[in-house]
Amino acid sequence: MSKIRILSDSLASQVAAGEVVERPAAVIRELVENSLDAGARHITVEVQRGGTALIRITDDGCGMDREDAMLCMERHATSKIRTKEDLAAIRTFGFRGEALPSIASVSRFRLATREREALSGTEIEIMGGKLSAVKDHGGNHGTVIEVRSLFFNVPARRKFLRTEATEYSHIEQQFRLHAIANPQTAFTLIRDGAVTFHLPGTADMMDRIRGLAGEELVTRLIKLPEVEHLGVGVSGYIGGPGLSRSNRQQQITFLNGRPIESPAINYGLKEGFHNALMKGQYPVTFLFLEMEAQSFDINVHPAKKEVRFHDGFAVREAVARAVKRALETGSKLPTGHVPSLPRLPVAETANVQSELVIPAPSGARAAVSPRAASFLTPSPVISAPRSSVATSPSPPEVTQPASAESASSVEKIPSVAPVRQPEYEEEEDPAKKQMPHFRIIGVLHKLYVLMESTEGLVLMDQHAAHERVNFEKMRKAMEQGGVPSQRLLMPLTLQTSPRDADVLMRNLEALSRLGIEAEPFGPNTFKIEALPTFLKTDDPLAWLDQVIEELQSLSSKSSSLRLGEDMIATTVCRHSVKANDRLALPEIQALLDDLFACEMPYCCPHGRPTLIQMSLNELERKFGRQAP
């Protein structure tokens, strides 16, 4: 007797359900996609007990006639594709015709649907995959689908469900994805009878993000420039420097409106953010990619979450470019807010001193370069809400210039006051960074500069700040023709392995832009004629070995876009600052000025913070002066 048998339809559906419907959130994904495909303008998602007891999706889409309503419950019944060619150019969310029968095979399922013009509609009930009733339905046009007791007939799967709270959090995440991808559609989420989100349809993506994530996040987002690169359109919003998460939950990306995950996009983001994000941290993104349907394949994952791009490299580059450009230009806007360091109101303009002074502990006064003053904006300034002490999201507030009494709540200390430089102010973008109002207290362990701000205590990592300043200086120099270099009186001879010689040969030009003039000088030998002027090392040959080593590892990992920057960030920069240099007060002030002249002052090129603030509130809490 033969052993092979064709599975019954209901068993086949249950097997498919295992792939399509891994948890309640997946049911919501499939049903909301169907509603969107049906052209719904309003979609309501209702769940009870984390979706395990009930999921009900109500839409005002096109609905179905009786024949379609019966047919849609069959496996591989779909209205969305007919031919092979259709599959290559999918524009709808669904196309496999598997979702409804799969869901119905593992639940108590009810479908009620009516076409707009039809006199009456159809109601169908299915119990664990078996049709139990077909009736007329007199409700509104559109479709209601109810899924009760999910997995009631598959105990093995039910066991795998997590707590109701966890399942609900997946549902909410799924709901957010749909809501962000489709701002024109109104969405409502009802949890155990209470409305959690009620989002009217809007043409403005920001409204939708605000409705879902709150005002605070919105003030910290930067708009991406609309980039089109090698057939990949990129747009959306990203969190400014300093805004990050320890997981990818808020790294949201869409391809043609479909939420997706893809290593190519992750690489692109990593590349774009690479010197603005700490290791192990992930950015906040609302990224929208638009591509021709022919240039990717969505049919690789049962839940259609992953895509395969025909040209993954183009995707990666397009994403990286958009992010880089946004960070460079957008981070100057007041919306590019840094959580640990609230923008501080600049001091009184009525009482401007004629020069910028810092009180040295000895009482001596150090003048500060007028350039620093050009980064000061006149008061009043918009200050973004503070995240460290924020209790509820609030809109940006206009801060009045601090009065002489309130400038320092601790004691009256002469402090750095800004000078207005009219000739600079004309050219400066008014939204440009404001130089915060700091009083330098001293240096801790030859590394951390302690400063008093109107908000509390600010710490600057001297080393990280230096790296940021040098990084930006060198990057600029490199873009403008090369890092200044110094000819050596006696050229050095560098012997290398054949492998190192190869990587050197391929990167002679990049090295020259970094101030290293090297020339082939016999087999596996190079003559080094010039080195960067800033280099502080007693052993240049050992330093060059490190450069080659990093060049080896970078040229395999970095794109052309990044190699130069990475070289500066990893090698050149690190060696331009000596650890534990003791800085005098004027040098500290100069460093601070230089830091605030940077495009991204709040983190070093490796993404570590340069400044940390501890608010008075936080201190008071720590000392028990205030209830936590």
- Return all residues near 469 (Cβ < 8 A) that are at least 6 apart: 591, 594, 595, 598
Both structure tokens of 284 = 């906040």
Residue 100, binding choice from ligand ADP, Mg ion, none, Cβ under 5 to 8 Å by partner class: ligand ADP
φ, ψ of residue 513 to 5 degrees: the values are -70, -20
In the set 80, 527, 575, 621, which binds ligand ADP (CB under 6 A)?
80
Q: Which stretch binds ligand ADP (CB under 6 A): 73-81, 195-203, 209-217, 577-585?
A: 73-81
Half-sphere exposure of 16 (CA within 13 A, CB side): 22
Q: Is 77 in the site for ligand ADP (CB under 6 A)?
A: yes
Least separation in angstroms between CB 304 and Mg ion:
9
Q: Mask 42-81, x = binds Mg ion (CB under 5 A)?
A: ----------------------------------------
In the set 45, 72, 600, 603, which binds ligand ADP (CB under 6 A)?
72
Task: Round to whole Å and give the CA distance between 500 and 506.
Answer: 10
Least separation in angstroms between CB 301 and ligand ADP:
14
Q: Which stretch binds Mg ion (CB under 5 A): 29-37, 50-58, 152-160, 449-457?
A: 29-37
Q: Is 56 in the site for ligand ADP (CB under 6 A)?
A: no
Q: Is 13 in the site for Mg ion (CB under 5 A)?
A: no
- Return all residues near 211 (Cβ < 8 A) that are at least 6 apart: 179, 197, 199
In the set 16, 20, 27, 34, which binds ligand ADP (CB under 6 A)?
34
Q: Is 21 in the site for ligand ADP (CB under 6 A)?
A: no
When the beta carbons of 303 and 444 are compared against ligand ADP, the nearer one is 303
When the beta carbons of 99 and 573 are compared against Mg ion, the nearer one is 99
Whether 487 contacts 512, CB under 8 Å: no
| β-strands 251-255, 285-290 pairing | parallel
Least separation in angstroms between CB 87 and ligand ADP:
11
Return the sign of the alpha-carbon dihedral for residues 535, 540, 542, 547.
Answer: positive
When the beta carbons of 90 and 494 are compared against ligand ADP, the nearer one is 90
Burial class for 517, CB neighbours closer than 10 Å (0-12, 13-18, 19+): buried
Q: Is 62 in the site for ligand ADP (CB under 6 A)?
A: yes
φ, ψ of residue 290 to 5 degrees: the values are -125, 125
When the beta carbons of 114 and 210 are compared against ligand ADP, the nearer one is 114
Residue 321's alpha-carbon distances to 284, 327, 338, 481, 560, in angstroms, are 17, 10, 22, 21, 12
Q: Is 250 in the site for Mg ion (CB under 5 A)?
A: no
CA-nearest of 218, 259, 225 to 240 is 218
In the set 10, 18, 53, 79, which binds ligand ADP (CB under 6 A)?
79
In the set 16, 20, 28, 34, which binds Mg ion (CB under 5 A)?
34
Least separation in angstroms between CB 191 and ligand ADP:
21
When the beta carbons of 30 and 271 are compared against ligand ADP, the nearer one is 30
Q: Which stretch binds Mg ion (CB under 5 A): 7-15, 87-95, 324-332, 454-462?
A: 87-95
Residue 488's alpha-carbon distances to 43, 513, 575, in angstroms, are 72, 17, 18
Whether 343 contacts 383, CB under 8 Å: yes
Q: Which amino acid is at 520?
A: P
Q: Is 416 in the site for ligand ADP (CB under 6 A)?
A: no
Q: Is 97 in the site for Mg ion (CB under 5 A)?
A: no
- Which contiguous run of DSSP H or E holds residue 451? strand 448-452
Strand, coil or helix: what is 251?
strand
Task: Round to whole Å and give the CA distance between 450 and 283.
Answer: 29
When the beta carbons of 147 and 569 are compared against Mg ion, the nearer one is 147
Both structure tokens of 43 = 């979609």
In the set 94, 239, 241, 342, which binds Mg ion (CB under 5 A)?
94
Both structure tokens of 575 = 């060696």
Please state, as a whole number, how many other Cβ atoms lie within 10 Å of the Cβ of residue 450: 15
Q: Is 99 in the site for Mg ion (CB under 5 A)?
A: yes
The closest residue (CB) to Mg ion is: 94
Q: Which stretch binds ligand ADP (CB under 6 A): 42-50, 88-96, 128-136, 580-588?
A: 88-96
Task: Round to whole Å and give the CA distance between 410 and 584.
Answer: 25
By the criterion CB under 5 A, which residues form the site for Mg ion? 34, 94, 99
By the criterion CB under 6 A, which residues form the site for ligand ADP? 30, 34-35, 38, 59, 61-64, 72, 77-80, 94-100, 143
